[in-house]
Amino acid sequence: MKIAVLPGDGIGPEIMAEAVKVLNALGEKFELEEAPVGGAGYEASGHPLPEATLQLAKEADAILFGAVGDWKYDKLERALRPEQAILGLRKHLQLFANFRPAICYPQLTGASSLKPEIVSGLDILIVRELNGDIYFGAPRGLRDAPDGLFQGAKEGFDTMRYSEPEVRRIAHVAFQAAQKRQKKLTSVDKANVLETSQLWRDTMIDVAKEYADVELSHMYVDNAAMQLVKAPKAFDVVVTGNMFGDILSDEAAMLTGSIGMLPSASLDKNNKGLYEPSHGSAPDIAGKGVANPLATILSAAMMLRYSLGKTEQADRIESAVKKVLEQGFRTGDIATADGVVVGTKEIGDAVVKAL
Ligand code: IPM
Ligand code: MG
């Protein structure tokens, strides 16, 4: 099994080193091949997603991705910025189904900014559509406003678009995910204002006919943002578009105490996938050895489960992470009164030991 290892920028290489260490400790024969991506790709060959990196990602059975981005690339034209690497991989490989679980580990309820009774035992899954919406909709651009109150003024424009088949395929993924959980699916949209959302809602209702065992409800995105902090445990699976999902998944992540704990999977229709922590490249702490590698390690576990069919090894990694938390190991982002703060390598070593 070939795994493309793309560490990226900022804390990417540090957290990836720990995930690779954990994978190597499983005693399986994986072929791991590393390639530069993001700012590192730009430095290596003038593009955030170098041709060779894309090729490797296409060939591999799965992709393990660190994080991309650094302030020093903010002035580059958009097409050359590190973020284009992840957007390009999602688009080129048609990774349309993004799974972002938000689980509050019992040892970390104290690390959440919410009251413990609101978040303890939290286990929700956000299914975010990843190939469409305003992220990729054409036309887009900068121009002189052709009409309106400020005609002639400089304006930026983007297009929010969803086709019915696009909504349908993510709907199926979300319903099937709900079937494996509490069988409650909340579809989040803005159907009171947007046409794309109306189509989204109508399509969800139509697909629901094939999943009589799943309870479908609908929620406007503003209300969903509020309910997520008011009563997050009322949710089971949330399905939403690319833009709303970007925002809500960060919000959901923070309920758990730290975005540093949350893995994610982006899958195509054959369950080939890219696995990455839900957090970014954190350039402010890069190279200091303090970043939390657990989200990347848990992403490797998701990869074993969803793309490589190694459920038992995935379980082993997840149990090892739980054990390390029980033992009181913490990185700074998940520091709690009863734990001891260690560095990136130390917590990675603790996971290997627990394995
Ligand atoms: C995410 C990130 C990306 C996104 C950025 C880096 C392009 O925020 O994966 O949530 O907006 O999708
Ligand atoms: Mg985001």
- Predicted confidence at residue 352, as pLDDT, reads 98
Cα 303 to ligand 2 centroid, rounded to whole Å: 20
Total domains in the chain come to 2
- Asked if residue 101 belongs to a domain, the reply is no
For residues 245 and 128, the answer to whether their CB atoms sit within 8 Å is: yes
Residue 126 has pLDDT above 90, yes or no: yes
Round the CA-based radius of gyration of the chain to a whole number and report it.
Answer: 20
Mean pLDDT of 302-327: 96
133 is an annotated ligand-binding site residue: no
- Asked if residue 198 belongs to a domain, the reply is yes
CA angle 188, 265, 182 (to 5 degrees): 55
Q: 61: pLDDT confidence band, cut at 50, 70 and 90? A: very high
Mean pLDDT of 267-294: 96
**What are the residues whose beta carbon lies below 5 Å from ligand 2 (ion)?**
246
104 contacts: CB under 8 Å, gap ≥ 6: 112, 119, 120, 121, 122, 123, 255, 256, 257
From 63, 80, 86, give the residue whose CB has the most ligand 1 atoms within 8 Å, as the site to mutate: 86
- Asked if residue 82 belongs to a domain, the reply is yes
Of 213, 237, 256, at which residue does a domain stop?
256
Sign of the C-alpha dihedral computed for residues 73, 78, 81 and 82 taken in this order: positive
Say how far residue 320 (Cα) sits from the centre of its chain: 21
Element (H, E) at 252: helix 242-255
- The pLDDT tens digits of the residues spanning 236-277 come to 999 999 999 999 999 998 898 888 899 999 999 999 999 999
Residue 101 has pLDDT above 90, yes or no: yes
Mean pLDDT of 121-141: 97
348 contacts: CB under 8 Å, gap ≥ 6: 17, 18, 21, 22, 293, 297
Atom of ligand 1 nearest to the CA of 264: 9
Task: Say which CATH number the domain at 216 has.
Answer: 3.40.718.10
Cα 312 to ligand 1 centroid, rounded to whole Å: 30
Q: Does 248 share its domain with 268?
A: no
98 is an annotated ligand-binding site residue: no
Cα 280 to ligand 2 centroid, rounded to whole Å: 8
251 CB under 6 A from ligand 1? no
Mean pLDDT of 88-107: 95
Q: Does 128 share its domain with 247?
A: yes
Name the E strands within the chain. Answer: 2-8, 31-34, 62-67, 97-103, 123-129, 141-144, 154-157, 184-189, 215-220, 237-240, 263-267, 273-277, 329-330, 340-341
Of 256, 289, 321, at which residue does a domain stop?
256
Q: Does 146 share its domain with 248?
A: yes
Mean pLDDT of 178-185: 98
Cis peptide before 283 (omega within 30 of 0): no
Q: Whose atoms come closest to the Cα of 38: which ligand?
A: 1
Atom of ligand 1 nearest to the CA of 98: 9
Q: Does 145 share its domain with 69?
A: no
Q: 303: pLDDT confidence band, cut at 50, 70 and 90? A: very high
- Predicted confidence at residue 240, as pLDDT, reads 98
Instruction: Show which residues are catalytic.
Output: 135, 190, 222, 246, 250
Element (H, E) at 16: helix 12-24
Of 256, 278, 311, at which residue does a domain stop?
256
Q: Which of 7, 26, 180, 189 is nearest to 99 (CA)?
A: 180
Q: Does 137 share its domain with 173?
A: yes
Atom of ligand 1 nearest to the CA of 68: 6
Which residue range(s) make up the domain with 72? 1-96+264-354
Residue 58 phi/psi, 5° resolution? -70, -40
Q: Does 225 share its domain with 294?
A: no
Residue 337 has pLDDT above 90, yes or no: no
Angstrom CA distances, 76 to 68, 73, 80, 227, 230, stand at: 14, 6, 6, 38, 40
Q: 316: pLDDT confidence band, cut at 50, 70 and 90? A: very high
Name the E strands within 91-194. Answer: 97-103, 123-129, 141-144, 154-157, 184-189
Mean pLDDT of 2-17: 98
Q: CA 150, CA 144: separation in Å to the nearest integer? A: 9
Cα 311 to ligand 2 centroid, rounded to whole Å: 27
Q: Does 305 share its domain with 340?
A: yes
Mean pLDDT of 9-15: 98
* Percent of the chain surpassing pLDDT 70: 100
246 CB under 6 A from ligand 1? yes
Which residue, judged by its Cα, is nearest atom 5 of ligand 1?
Answer: 83
